[in-house]
Amino acid sequence: MCSRLKLVFAVSVLLQLLDFSRGNNVGVAYGRDANNLPSPDKVAQLVRNHNIQYIRIYDTDPQVLNAFKNTGIAFTVGVHNSDLPAFQSQSYVDSWLTNSILPFYQATRITHITVGNEVTESPDNAANLVVPAMRNVVSALKKSNLQDSIKVSTPLSFGVLSNSFPPSEGAFKSSLAYVLNPLLEFLDENQSPFMVNIYPYFAINDDSSLKFALFEPSNQVFVDWNTGLRYDNMFDAQLDAVHFAIANQFRKARNLLDAQLDDVRFSLAYQNLNEMKIVVIETGYPKGGSPGHRFATIDNARIYNTNLIRHVTSGSGTTAMPGGVHVMSGTPAKPNAEVDVYIFSLFDENLKQGSDIEGHWGIFYPDMTPAYDLEFPGTPSGKSWCIASSQASKSALQNALDWACGPGKADCSDIQPGGQCFEPDNLVSHASFAFNNYYQKHGLTDEACSFGGTGIKVYNDPSYGNCIYHYFSRGNNVGVAYGRDGNNLPSPDKVAQLVQNHNIQYIRIYDTDPQVLNAFKNTDIEFTVGVHNSDLPAFQSQSYVDSWLTNSILPFYQATRITHITVGNEVTESSDNAANLVVPAMRNVVSALKKSNLQDSIKVSTPLSFGVLSNSFPPSIGAFNSSLAYVLNPLLEFLDENRSPFMVNLYPYSAIKDDSSLKFALFEPSDQVFVDQNSGLRYDNMFDAQLDAVHFAIFNQLRKTRNVLDAQLDVVRFSLTDQSSISDMKTIVTETGYPKGGSTSHGFVTIDNARIYNTNLIRHVTSGSPTTSMPAGVHLMSGTPAKPNGEVNVYIFSLFDENLKQGSDLEGHWGIFYPDMTPAYNLEFPGKGTDPSGRSWCIASSQASKSALQNALDWACGPGKTDCSAIQPDGQCFVPDNLVSHASFAFNNYYQKHGLTDEACSFGGTGIKVYSDPSYGNCIYNVKSNDPNGRTCLTSNVFSQILYSLTPPSHSTIITRKMGLLMFPAVSTEMPSKLTRILAMVIASITD
């Protein structure tokens, strides 16, 4: 037993580090003890209209299960206590599953089965029967291989506790050990949740306890004298009493005599015996009853359920944190635990037995009108932040804060006196800001939010007032190369303001000019700095490089976000000895970085010219010039060894020969799409073709140097994305762009072509590329045809025209701005992530084979339970009638309903995640997103479609309110005034 517990503990710690939590959810219990309720079909529509994503029913009524088919709503179904005697028979349970679950499971998303309800309160023999019945249900599920998809539990009353105050002394009634011990062992064995009904309402006895129950602010915060944990609401206190009761019951049952009681109480979050998830399967608040129930009012019911939803989905605010900063995703004793709850109940139920308040818990009346306004959050946006736990000790928190602002290099200037986040001046608030700054800059990983156990990940924006908590996404990015070969350029300070004003988030410079680095401090703009070819001889000395790092990087690194160092530039094109010197210089830079523990934060590489390829057409036979093996082989090994990106400068402009190749270079639609005959991959633009030629060249070069003789060439060419062992090297296009002027001999050099290229490049990289096989606005991929899921980061050359640039007469005309800082043409940068709400969609890859795509589509619309009605004839998304378009809609529908995970967008490798809305015309692709207050955002595309049909497409209005930035076509002056007023009220209401 001891070895088993050690293993369980190790797994527990590992799971906590990996943080596989899917987030906190709020559902509703749909009780039907009434004779005046609407039909299940109407209820299903009501639930969807209010964005309720989780429903509990108390039986397996086929009308209800049919009504909710294809909605994607997660269902908990139940078995009545009266059925438990029959459930002692395995054959009976097998038959029940066959008739009551399996016919609906494919279309209705059943996730839990509750066997019995509050069995310890039942006057019959239910408590003795429940665990054997649950075991029979699991056995039946195993026969259909559903034991991991559908979890089995039984809801208990909070009355099973003999003690709940203080929470640390939570304990179950000893008289119920006969049912609780086998129940807990069953739940632990099957990884099922412990389900409990919690009703803080019943503990209210005065105005003080009323505030405590309603999550309302109070001057008093209860501190558990055994643990030091602070409670500002009754829900957390009761739930933690259950947590401690479970831990203590396991301790008794497993005879853990070596576990000290204070260890159990004070370190609950680290006890392997308490990793069991708890689902609050019922909670709520009555809104009416006899005068004796003076706290049962509609206003109190609204306050409780509103605050419950905010508390569970956003975390709980405390007096130690500024308004809007959410302390935890769990409870004080288990701050990182999931807390899923179901509000009781959907409707008032006029046949409910018991006291006169029993029929008045509904959030809707039987006529489906809301009892009060209640907003459900739906699915999280995918963004995350890191904050400090108020439960951490002051010493641990201070140590973590000191580390974050010191060796951790977090930007802590905003929490200094006079800074935007200095107030409130307390440790938790300051640590939260510092933790998040570090977390966002270091890959949004679990480790980056550890801080010795004092950091907590949250999923709603903790910003407040003028204190903005930064959020950075990891995806495809577009930056700008800031060359300075000009004598008429603006000062770095002005350039920094210009860059911020235009939302450019990534900058490359070719040196480490201190004026530039100082000008960009505290902007959070990512910087790639450089070393000139002429400096490479000096960089052969380690001591020289150490001194260079000390003087040129470290003084700026804390305030200016330096992420890459480029050592040399296009060294193979250099007339000096740069190519021989570059890799030793790079190794010296990495060694210097290691001495400051910065080797993971700042990556080192060298940009190469596209001319290093001896062959680039077709892309699948991309190969490097064999005469450059002396530099490329050690370079690729260095990059692989240090997990650094391969950097290349790509200029499709240089390959333009005629009007046809012009379209190919500008990402413009054409009747012709190039198909690589070796790989079958389709290319509709030159950028992808050139970049994939580089991808294949890297792969083939590594293959040669590593003597991978057993890799067949056709496998190399056709399955590049599957060769992860030697082809997962990231590629950054450190220069690309288009000239806008020069002599008349450059026939394709025009300002309009430059605008088209850079505009389409940004759209392509950040959103994917439209192709002829996809409807307008549907984005093909986040990478390239050969590496569709790979990151593609690019830098547009250049920020300004440079009048001292050497070379032909067009060299000085690549700027997107003139030296006076006026834009050469309109260009919109997406910033950190293409969608302002961090949203994502899933579409089909047009590179997938027809058979694979058809199989995936059949699965999605069949066993995958996706709603495919819109792609049937006459459906809104039927046209264009092709496989890729239909599969894209179905894939996204499934993806949105199943947690926005990578697995939910796999489809056997035929699905691709994109970050810009693929909706087109009347075909709306569903998406889930929340605003910072935890409310469900109405996505702009829906309203845009409604208004677009009523307004001229040339008009536009930007409305900025709490929901963020929404684009709406403006109301036409020709529109009837009454309709204008109605639309104005709609817009105002959704943005308030």
Catalytic residues: 118, 282
Amino acid 967 reads: M
- The phi, psi pair for 16, rounded to 5°, reads -65, -40
Nearest to 831 by CA among 762, 919, 760: 762
Cα torsion at 821, 822, 824, 827 (round to 10°)? 90
* CA 144/CA 132 separation, integer angstroms: 19
Task: Give the pairing type, strands 222-223 and 230-231.
Answer: antiparallel
List, in sequence order, every residue forming a beta bridge with 76; answer none if it has no partner: 56, 112
The closest of 793, 568, 814 to 691, measured between CA atoms, is 793
Separation of alpha carbons 103 and 114, rounded Å: 18
C-beta neighbour count of 71 within 10 angstroms: 20
Contact 190, 151 (CB under 8 A): yes
Specify the DSSP element, H or E, that contains 79: strand 74-79
User: How far is 166 from 968, CA to CA, in rounded Å?
Assistant: 53
What does each C-alpha distance from 640 to 225, 701, 729, 730 come to in angstroms? 54, 13, 7, 10
Cis peptide before 618 (omega within 30 of 0): yes
CA distance 390 to 330: 12
DSSP 926: P
C-alpha 901 chain-centroid distance: 8
- Positive or negative torsion for Cα 625, 626, 632, 637: positive
**Do 160 and 172 contact (CB within 8 A), yes or no?**
yes
- CA-to-CA distance for 69 and 151, rounded, in angstroms? 19
Q: Residue 980: exposed, middle, or buried by beta-carbon count in 10 A (0-12, 13-18, 19+)?
A: middle
Task: Using alpha carbons, list the distances in angstroms from residue 360 to 197, 240, 286, 300, 373.
Answer: 17, 28, 5, 13, 16
What span, in angstroms and rounded, lies between the C-alpha atoms of 736 and 428? 45
Tokens 């499709």 belong to residue:
652
Angle at CA 473, nearest 5°, toward 470 and 476? Answer: 140
Long-range contacts formed by 217-223: CB under 8 A, 24+ apart: 217/319, 221/318, 221/319, 222/166
Q: Quote the CA–CA distance of 885 and 891 in Å, as a whole number.
A: 10
DSSP letter at 833 equals: S
Please tell me whether residue 662 adopts helix, strand or coil conformation: helix
Give the whole-angstrom CA distance, residue 67 versus residue 362: 20
CA angle 161, 164, 165 (to 5 degrees): 160
- Contacts of residue 930, defined as CB under 8 A and 6 or more positions apart, other chains included, come to 377, 378, 379, 380, 381, 460, 837, 936, 937
- Nearest in space to 111 (alpha carbons), one of 53, 156, 64: 53
Strands (DSSP E) contained in 373-497 are 385-388, 455-458, 478-481
Strands (E), 349-414: 385-388
Name residues whose C-beta falls within 8 Å of residue 388's C-beta, 6 or more positions apart in sequence.
397, 400, 401, 427, 428, 431, 432, 435, 451, 454, 455, 456
